[in-house]
């Protein structure tokens, strides 16, 4: 089972974190710092698996990571997960991000955090791997994008209708030509009343 997924830059700034087990916020920050120190001090030519830090579970858990340009993608997993399977999952996650954002970079993770979490939710839910087929994942993302676009179009149309309503009302009143209607109005003759 996956316990946590962390993405941070070369300076240890978290760019995305997803914990599948409850930790208080301050402990989450400590886990991110400890994980960064464990992963960042390793050479690029060594294995991408290591024992989990003391805060995340020690030797019962493994940290499996990949370093791409300025970002570290780290999955903390228990012994039931395959290291090579998780490395492949990281690759699928990064390639999916790359397709969605057209050459993904750190800023995409910062400014599109909702979309990144949606993509991650298509791969992993509740610490369990859901899907590893990138074609399936991209199909779901495209469906979500279509829904978002249709919702935005509907909202724009609704706002255009609401904002145009006062102008249409004024135009309708002008078209009525009320002063001329008063002149053209024929009133019946009223009887003369005398006041005594």
**Domain extents for the chain?**
1-146
The greatest distance separating any two alpha carbons of the chain, rounded to the nearest whole angstrom, comes to 117
- pTM equals 0.73
CATH architecture designation of domain 1-146? 2-Layer Sandwich (3.30)
Mean pLDDT of all residues in 46-62: 80
> Is the pLDDT at 20 greater than 90, yes or no?
yes
**pLDDT value, residue 98:** 92
CB neighbour list of residue 2: distance below 8 Å, 6 or more residues apart = 20, 75, 76, 77, 81, 86, 124, 127, 128, 129
129-172 pLDDT per residue, tens: 999 999 999 999 999 889 888 887 877 777 766 666 666 666 66
Strand-pair category, 61-68 with 2-9: unpaired
Share of the chain above pLDDT 70, in %: 84
């Amino acid at each position: 089972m996956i316990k946590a997924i962390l993405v941070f830059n070369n300076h240890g700034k978290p760019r995305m974190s997803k914990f599948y087990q409850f930790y208080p916020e301050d402990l989450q920050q400590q886990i991110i710092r400890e994980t960064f120190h464990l992963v960042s001090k390793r050479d690029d030519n060594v294995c991408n698996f290591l024992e989990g830090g003391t805060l995340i579970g020690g030797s019962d858990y493994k940290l499996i990571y990949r370093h791409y340009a300025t970002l570290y993608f780290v999955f903390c997993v228990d012994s039931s997960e395959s290291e090579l399977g998780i490395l492949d999952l990281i690759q699928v996650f990064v390639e999916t991000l790359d397709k969605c954002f057209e050459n993904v970079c750190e800023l995409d993770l910062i400014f599109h955090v909702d979309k990144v979490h949606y993509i991650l939710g298509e791969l992993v839910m509740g610490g369990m791997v859901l899907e590893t087929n990138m074609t399936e994942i991209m199909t779901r993302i495209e469906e979500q994008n279509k829904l978002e676009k249709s919702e935005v179009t509907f909202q724009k149309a609704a706002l255009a209708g609401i904002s145009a309503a006062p102008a249409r009302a004024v135009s309708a009143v002008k078209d009525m030509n009320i002063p001329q209607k008063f002149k053209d109005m024929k009133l019946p003759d009223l009887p003369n009343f005398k006041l005594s």
